[in-house]
């Protein structure tokens, strides 16, 4: 018999107590991913090397090539930051080589189509670290038109509107920091200044960073993925390109631990995930690639081939409707 689990939006289905208990213990969530079985991951924008407005999607539980979702709602741009709830995905900021924007786009993740205007960030921003939970989407650090910034801001995902100041990182930190999250903590790892800092905030309150630990080496332009317990940082450069994957336990402070390796040394990558599997898309080796790797987040090991994006591009952004910030209580 096929599995058809109830979830938070649909009471119909087969209540399999063993499977529900297993998922709650291991992943902190109900089986199934809120109307999108397997979780839907999205990759937006990027450089081909020219800027593009492309948005692709994948079903994270099933290997295969990405499918066209739609387009960003304003100019082609790279260096957006992405996060989402179970229903909405947001791509924030980004820009071209000459201009940085404050635009926020949103999509209804379960259906394909072009972006809709959400509002604006507190200022122009490109390549921040992004994380969130069911209610808030955060951007931390990044760069404006003139300088790196340490700003942390958020929007309320269910209501369109502009960004609100939250606090600050310990230092200005431009692109390539890895944003990961549990339902309560948001974490930033690394950054383009090739630092190895890991910092966190409690997302339900307002305030600045707290030191978490360090990556094993300094690097930026990395991909971030997380379930409710484990945050993962993959790829990047320092300044040589890296295939390193490492992880932290989100609830416990400390330094990152080796996880495995990507299929190749890749930078300018983007990550997305469901509660069990992470996917790393695009980037440079330094040749711009369309590859997608995947890992099983609960067990350490090397990445394997997942499929391909619709076009080779770097400096893209990733999000999903089944990441670690959404799993607790669902």
DSSP 96-147: -SS-B--EEEEEETTS----EEEEE-SS--BS-EEEE-SSEEEEES-B-SSS
pLDDT higher than threshold 50 for residue 34: no
| Higher-confidence position of 329 and 221 | 221
- Report pLDDT for 328: 47
Confidence of residue 25 (pLDDT cuts 50, 70, 90): very low
Average pLDDT, the chain: 88
Residue 329 has a pLDDT of 41
As a whole number, mean pLDDT of residues 75-99 equals 91
pLDDT band at residue 238, thresholds of 50, 70 and 90? confident
Question: pTM of the entire structure?
Answer: 0.88
Residues of the chain with pLDDT > 90: what percent? 73
Superfamily of domain 37-326 in CATH is Kelch-type beta propeller (2.120.10.80)
Which ranges in the chain are annotated with CATH 2.120.10.80?
A: 37-326
pLDDT band at 239 (very low <50, low <70, confident <90, very high): confident
Residue 21, pLDDT above cutoff 60: no
pLDDT above 70 for 37: no
CA distance linking residue 106 with residue 305, whole number of Å: 29
Tokens representing residue 158 in the block:
């269910």
pLDDT at 194: 54
Q: Is the four-CA dihedral 125, 127, 129, 132 of positive or negative sign? A: positive
pLDDT recorded at residue 145: 80
């Amino acid at each position: 018999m096929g599995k058809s689990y109830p979830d938070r939006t649909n009471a119909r289905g087969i209540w399999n107590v063993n499977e529900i208990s297993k998922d709650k213990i291991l992943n902190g969530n109900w089986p199934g991913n809120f109307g999108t079985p397997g979780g839907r991951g999205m990759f937006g924008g990027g450089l081909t090397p020219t800027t593009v407005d492309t948005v692709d999607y994948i079903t994270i539980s099933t290997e295969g090539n990405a499918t066209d979702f739609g387009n960003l709602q304003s100019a082609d741009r790279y260096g957006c930051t992405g996060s989402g709830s179970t229903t909405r995905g947001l791509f924030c900021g980004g820009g071209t080589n000459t201009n940085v924007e404050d635009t926020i786009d949103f999509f209804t993740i379960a259906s394909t189509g072009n972006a809709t205007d959400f509002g604006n960030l507190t200022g122009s921003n490109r390549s921040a670290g992004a994380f969130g939970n069911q209610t808030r989407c955060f951007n931390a650090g990044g760069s404006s038109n003139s300088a790196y910034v340490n700003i942390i801001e958020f929007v309320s995902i269910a209501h369109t509107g502009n960004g609100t100041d939250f606090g600050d990182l310990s230092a200005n930190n431009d692109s390539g920091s890895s944003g990961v999250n549990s339902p309560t903590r948001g974490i930033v790892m690394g950054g383009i200044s090739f630092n190895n800092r890991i910092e966190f905030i409690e997302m339900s309150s307002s305030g600045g960073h707290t030191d978490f630990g360090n990556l094993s080496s300094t690097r930026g332009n990395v991909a971030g993925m997380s379930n409710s317990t484990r945050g993962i940082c993959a790829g990047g450069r320092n300044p040589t390109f890296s295939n390193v994957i490492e992880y932290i336990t989100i609830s416990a402070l400390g330094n990152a631990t080796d996880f495995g390796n990507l299929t190749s040394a890749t930078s300018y990558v983007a990550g997305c995930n469901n509660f069990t599997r992470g996917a790393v898309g695009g980037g440079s080796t330094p040749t711009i690639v369309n590859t997608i790797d995947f890992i099983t987040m609960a067990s350490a090991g090397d990445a394997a081939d997942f499929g391909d994006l619709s076009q080779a591009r770097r400096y893209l952004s990733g999000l999903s409707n089944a990441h670690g910030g959404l799993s607790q209580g669902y």
